A and B are shown apart, each in its own frame.
Chain A
Amino acid sequence: MIWPNQMESNVRPRLETRIGVSRTMVYATPVLALLLTMACGSILFAALGQHPPAVLYAFFIQPISSAYGLAELTVKATPLVLCAIGLSFGFRANIWNIGAEGQLTLGAIAGGGLALWAGEDAGLWVLPAMMLAGLLGGAAWAAIPAYLKTRFNANEILTSLMLTYVAILLLSYLVHGPWKDPEGYSFPQSRMFADSALLPLLTMGTRLHLGAPIALFVALAAWWVMARMFIGFQIKVVGLTPAAAGLAGFSVRRLTWITLLTGGALAGLAGLFEVAGPIGQLLPSISPGYGFTAIIVAFLGRLHPLGILFAGLLIALSYLGGETVQIELGLPLAVAGVFQGMLLFFLLATDVLVRYRIRWDRRSTIEEAG
């Protein structure tokens, strides 16, 4: 941009490209973004007539000051981490699957449908089979944008998102229609799953289920794939420089399929864990937007599997915090969404420091020397 002459003598900032990326800033900016979000959140709460320290306490501290709270945190983080890990593969490869919510829904439909079909006296096989169905259901839903992208070059952002609306409507049809519980007083919901079709609880008195350690395992495995495996290297190259990937013989088409199918499968597994875990049946709405929020989790975790673990816990806390301030202070649940959006904004804004450094130019033109 050309600045007016009169400003020449003023001190003004300018962005200068760094030669490499700043390692310090890679780790510092998420923390900075969180602090800025808290500061802005405080202003927002004050504007809503609340005492900011009380709200911040209720939002960030109170939900995790009990063992039950910690278990709830993990329960909420599980689907977020699973979806975000799946998305991160695609985002790394410049494949913008934003339809994880739909893939999650299809996973729930496939796995939940199996549970309903198996009925009350299903054997031990049913739970593993449901997980497999969840994986396949999510992957199948993601296969549609993958096919349309590789075959017709159709933008996956739009197709995967449109399919999310379709998936949610499909679930709505099923629980209003063929899968409706006949004894459910005409509520749109399925029968409760049999005990054998529910995820075992890890600690009594909480809702912490088997999905949490599986999500942790998935994160560690993803870390291994991205850091040590050739396929992870290929994903990174395709995302950074597609032409170099072509030169090296990495097929963009193949990687598009792999990343979309993996993302869909993990989102599907997350959906199955929701219905076979905390919910225990199929409902018209099985997720408070985990699939969308996972986009924030993936970025906040820097698309790194271990970063995503931390980011998943933090964003899960924002859900719990939102519920707490709703109950305790009567604030709307939407506060959680605002908080999440702000956090991503500030992260994207502060990210500029990773690749550029700010220079404060005192003077910059020829005239001074003349």
Chain B
Amino acid sequence: MEIRLPAMSPTMEEGTLARWLVKPGDAVKPGQVIAEIETDKATMELESDEAGTIVALAVAEGSDGVKVGTVIATLAVAGEDAPALAERPAPAAAPEPAERPAAAAAPAPAPPPAKVPATAPAKVPDAVPAEPAPTVATRRQTVREALRDAMAEEMRANPRVFVMGEEVAYYQGAYKVTQGLLDEFGDRRVVDTPITEYGFAGLGVGAAMGGLRPIVEFMTMNFAMQAIDHIVNSAAKTNYMSGGQMRCPIVFRGPNGAAARVAAQHSQNFAPWYASVPGLIVLSPYDAADAKGLLKAAIRSPDPVVFLENELLYGRSFEVPEGEHVVPIGRARRHRAGRDVTLVSYSIGVEVALAAAEALAGEGISAEVLDLRSLRPLDEAAILESLARTHRMVVVEEGWPRCSIASEVIAICMEKGFDDLDAPVLRVTDADVPLPYAANLEKAALVDSSKVVAAVRSLFR
């Protein structure tokens, strides 16, 4: 039988075959560990399900980027004819894995530009760098590593900074974001909590009032609903209620929004909830550079910050400036310049918007992509400035449509940008339903670039 690389988490797409613990000819028993697989979250042991003899290893030790579903070894199951199997050639190359469920996959490719009116303008030069090419050296990092580095750098700089949450220390982070922090800072500053969100959120608030700088990790923001009283009532309102005396410098962070196939109770975007609360700062970065720079700014902030990450982005790699990199709170970022329409988004929605912009470029529509990054305070000036140039806007949001960040952006355009509008501002969001489990329903519920492209086209009819 063929042993294939299994998916070891809801979002795993590939892994590294770190080590083989068996060689051809070895007999294995059910439950015996045959290999160590490094996923983007952890190093995990792969066990044999069957008793038998290893016939061949198809993937060399140390291979990285092995796709889920790839045949990595063949096993002669006890009773099968081992020599016959051995004569079969080992797979020469890793086969492509079966298509992954929608949410875990990269944004869908843009649909063919069949329906574009013939009057579409000639293709414009696009992908103009939105920000000047960085003059500082950069290096490629995952969002996960960038977040970890941000915490580690701030913890080195300020002994009052500590991190607490479920599995942040010995487990190295449920999503591996706090990997290595325990080794460097010890368990007084990297604190594993019991599963007690309401309690440890309140405890973190008290520690902040008591002069420390806590980073409170929620395993996912879904669980922070158990603690939202402390985030809103205890943290956000303290400075105001005390007439400006009592500070609460705390960061509540964790993955937010839909992951992959984890269904309704584990898939929700809380950005609009927190962004509606005066007294909070709400940040939701897309790429690794912003993840690092904004988390550092959050940790230094004298105000309470809700820092919304995205599980699907943790493993994505981007260029991150070397050395000290802090991104100011409250400023949007243009990821792509354009002149016909502005796509406004944040977090994983930016990825969708960029894919849509690329597809639209093929149809001769030049789309600008504006990443809000900071949801409270919101960079109204950047939204209105872009609208004043493109005169059309679509808000792309991985979240529900009602009372959303999109709703807010549209209100701003109505109130302050009305004269610049050549068309109504549209929103492209998830469906207004609890997120379903079935792969096809989930795909239909989530925002994707084809929906964005369709919305933009409708503005040019």
A in complex with B: no
Which residues on B are within 8 Å of A, measured CB to CB? none
